[in-house]
Structure 1
Amino acid sequence: MRRSRLSTRGLTEGAIQAALVAVLALLTRYVPLAVLATTFLMPLPLMVLTIRHGVRPAVLAAVVSGVVAGMLSGDLLTGVGILVAVAPFGIMVGWGTRRGWSGPAIVGMAVLVSGASLVVNGLLLLAFLGINPVQQYGEMVLTMRQQMDTAASLYGRLGLGQEAAESYRRTMLAVLDLMPRLVLFGFVATAVTTGWLNYEIARPILRRVGHPLPALPPASTWRVPGFALWLLPLAWLISALGWQPVTTLSDRLRSSLPPAPLPVPSDLGLNLLALLSVALLVQGVIVGWVFLGRYRLHRALRVLLLLWLTFNPIFSNLLLIVGLVDSIFPLRERLGRRAAPAEVKP
């Protein structure tokens, strides 16, 4: 009898949560100003439902909300988007919390689910609308390149100076030349950021409704493991010795080129190098945060100073080196400790 009552309660709550998800999906579609908020709120009802009643009611609620949203909007992709992008994340986080997983384990699974959702969304866009996300990305980069001349001339008119404007233009063109080769880096960075940010936004909201999510370790303790540094020389080798696609030569000339020393694409090494560089840069920022906290500097000042250092080309490289050293030696522990005042002997 109790099992039946709990099942009925789960179905009732599932119907309410499904309606809530459908409403949030419709707001996302028809109210552009609400997109940022509703994107992070949509997985929450399914998280709560999974924590309270398990996976089956949550899956049923996700299917119902997808069907309802698709029917009300007249767009099949709206309903499919719920099933692909929203439901897996909410159900997975709720399931991990229900089973007592740690915060890092749940976020790790959330990142994998976010990455899989990105892939499935891309395939759906290609299959139903004929939109190739990779091609769209390339066209966006091409448009940005075409706008660089306009931006450089604007900076010249603002009094930046011809030499400085030209230097800025060359730097940005070099960055834009790399962007089409860093698709894998962009994909991984998007999946990690999406999974982590969704989880951190969900934590205070679910805590208020009585379902706290496990906390992550303090950011000051995050560290790239030392063995990951061995990937740096591997990335450099792949970048230097891997094969590169040549599209400007004829087939005959291309076939006459000597084979690459390594049978892997050089872009793989470039993407791996970019991922490690960003991870070490973040670690350098954490070391800087710990070091500045030693002197009780106000949080706002610490944030502003570290942002300036991060986006400064010279100091960002120094932060990266600091992060690299911190993976080998306990640098932040030494910098974070404040020496005790020496005892005065009588």
Structure 2
Amino acid sequence: MNQHRMTPLTESGLLTALSVVLALMAVYLPFIGFLLVLFWPLPLIVLVVRHGLRWGLMAAAAAGVLMGLLLEPLLSLRLVIAYAPAGLLLGWAFAKGLSGVKAFLLTIAAAIAGQAASVGLLLLVTDVNPLTMQVELLQSSFDTSLQLYEGMGMSEDTLAKTRAEIEQGLQMLTYLFPLVFIIIGLLYGGVAYVTGGKILKRLGHNVPQFPPVHEWRLPQAFLYLFGFALVGLYWGGTRQIMWLYQISLNANALAIMAGLLQGLVLMHCLFRHFRVSLFLRIVFYVFIVMNPFLAQVVAMTGLIDMIFDYRQRFSARNQK
């Protein structure tokens, strides 16, 4: 039986068309557009793995040109800059046989850089910061809600206190803009890695496996980052050094997130050891994440675990 294999040019054309269709759906379908844009790098991942980085670069450029003709040139350029690097580098990492951790970290770095470059391009061309616009929309929405409560008879003292808390929260959000890029990069990188890996497996390609959850260990640098962030918050807050305060605030939040992840992994190991059912595990995880105090306790435990490695101590004790 004759085996018919598509040429790189044919497959590149099909995957480029798929990228354009995904972009059009992401723009014109408001409710699911945010989800669809997460899958935009997938055709590039497949193309790079099957035919090389050169074909992926050409497909990304061709998709950008077609989207520029069908949509808006600036929008298409921002879309390519924001999402193409993650797809191209993840496909390259899979093709080179890098480990799952290295491929994932490379994808996250590319996703963060792409999102930052996309926002920077919009700011350079239009002098409009989309993150600031979102904060202004939130402020307008809260103002409308407060006016509604005022019409319902809420006291002036309560309204003033609520308004002050909202303004403080929004101001804190503007300080955390750098962390927003990291969170977006983690989201996009994670979706690209998981979905891209599953598609490539279905196509018969070998994909490096990510370590199981009970083997996850974050570096001790996050604990030191947390300590330096506390010092920076104190110095920046007491001496009105705003740039130091903002950097330290983002570093503190990043370290807390890392500690929370490490703490949840530690809990997962304990639940796994005592054979707790999956349903109860999920209930515990959700309850911890939704409770600020418990989340803080788990995060601190996770940060300490980065140095003391409780899992190794538990396993050594059980072997005695």
TM-score range normalised by the length of the shorter chain = 0.7 to 0.9
User: What TM-score comes out, normalization by structure 1 length?
Assistant: 0.77
Q: Determine if the alignment matches structure 1 residue 131 to structure 2 residue 110.
A: no
Aligned twin of 1:235: 229
CA displacement, residues 145-201 of structure 1 (integer Å, 9 cap, x when unaligned): 536757989xx99xxxxxxx9999987665444222211222222222321232122
Q: CA deviation at 1:83?
A: 2.5
Q: What runs of 5+ residues in structure 2 fail to find an aligned partner?
A: none
Correspondence for 2:280 among 301, 307, 311:
301
> Aligned in 2, Cα 1:84/1:14: closer, same or farther, shift over 3 Å?
same
Q: Which has the larger radius of gyration?
A: 1
Answer yes or no: is the 8 Å Cα contact 2:81–2:118 preserved in 1: yes
CA distance in 2 between partners of 1:227 and 1:125 (Å)? 34
Whole-angstrom CA distance in 1 between matches of 2:302 and 2:148: 34
Shift of 1:275: 0.6
Determine which of 166, 188, 198 is the counterpart of 1:194. Answer: 188
1:81–1:166 distance in 2 versus 1, CA, 3 Å: closer
Aligned residue among 194, 200, 206 for 1:206 = 200
Other structure's SS at 1:332 match: helix
Mapped contact 2:42–2:192 kept (Cα < 8 A): no
- Give per-residue Cα distances to partners, 1:89-131, cap 9 Å, x unaligned: 2111111111121111111111121112112211232344442
1:324 to 299, 303, 308: 303
2:7 maps to a residue whose letter is: R
* Distance verdict in 2 for CA 1:53–1:185, change over 3 Å: same
Aligned to 2:105: 108
Gaps of 5+ in 1: 1-5, 158-164, 245-259
* Deviation string, structure 1 residues 173-231 (Cα, Å, up to 9, x no partner): 65444222211222222222321232122221221122343222122222232343222
Query: Counterparts in 2 of 1:42-81, with a 5 A limit?
Result: 42-73=40-71, 75-81=72-78
2:54, 2:25 → 1: CA distance? 26
Cα separation, partners in 2 of 1:299 and 1:45, compared to 1, 3 Å: same
Following the alignment from structure 2 to structure 1, what is the Cα–Cα distance between the partners of residues 240 and 168? 26
**Aligned CA distance change for structure 1 residues 295 and 151 (closer, same or farther; 3 Å):** farther
- What is the aligned partner in structure 2 of residue 29 from structure 1? 27
- C-alpha distance in 2 between matches for 1:120 and 1:280: 28
**Secondary structure of the corresponding residue to residue 32 of structure 1:** coil
Q: Deviations over 1:264-320 (max 9, x none)?
A: 522111111111011101111111122122222221221121111222122112212
Relative contact order higher in (CA < 8 Å, ≥ 6 apart):
2
Q: Deviations over 1:65-104 (max 9, x none)?
A: 222222233x213432443123222111111111121111
Q: Tell me how far apart the structure 2 counterparts of residues 322 and 151 of structure 1 sit (CA, whole Å).
A: 43
Query: In 2, are the aligned partners of 1:46 and 1:62 still within 8 Å (CA)?
Result: yes
Distance change >3 Å, CA 300–CA 124, structure 1 → 2: same
What percentage of aligned pairs have identical amino acids?
28
Q: Which residue does 1:85 correspond to in 2?
A: 82
What CA distance in whole angstroms lies between the structure 1 residues aligned with 2:301 and 2:144?
35
Match of 1:266 in 2: 245
Q: CA 1:118–1:65 in 2, change beyond 3 Å: closer, same or farther?
A: same
Match of residue 11 from structure 2 = 13
C-alpha spacing 1:236/1:126, structure 2 compared with 1 (3 Å) = same
Further displaced range: 202-211 or 166-175: 166-175
1:224 equivalenced with 2:218 (yes/no): yes
Q: Give the Cα separation in 2 of the matches to 1:14 and 1:44.
A: 13
| Number of residue equivalences | 312
Give, in whole Å, the separation in 2 of the partners of 1:240 and 1:78: 41
Q: Please give the alpha-carbon distance, in whole angstroms, between the structure 1 residues aligned to 2:70 and 2:91.
A: 27
| Match runs of 1:113-192 below 5 Å | 113-143=110-140, 146=143, 149=146, 175-192=169-186
> Once the 2 structures are TM-superposed, how far is the Cα of residue 25 of structure 1 from its aligned partner?
1.4
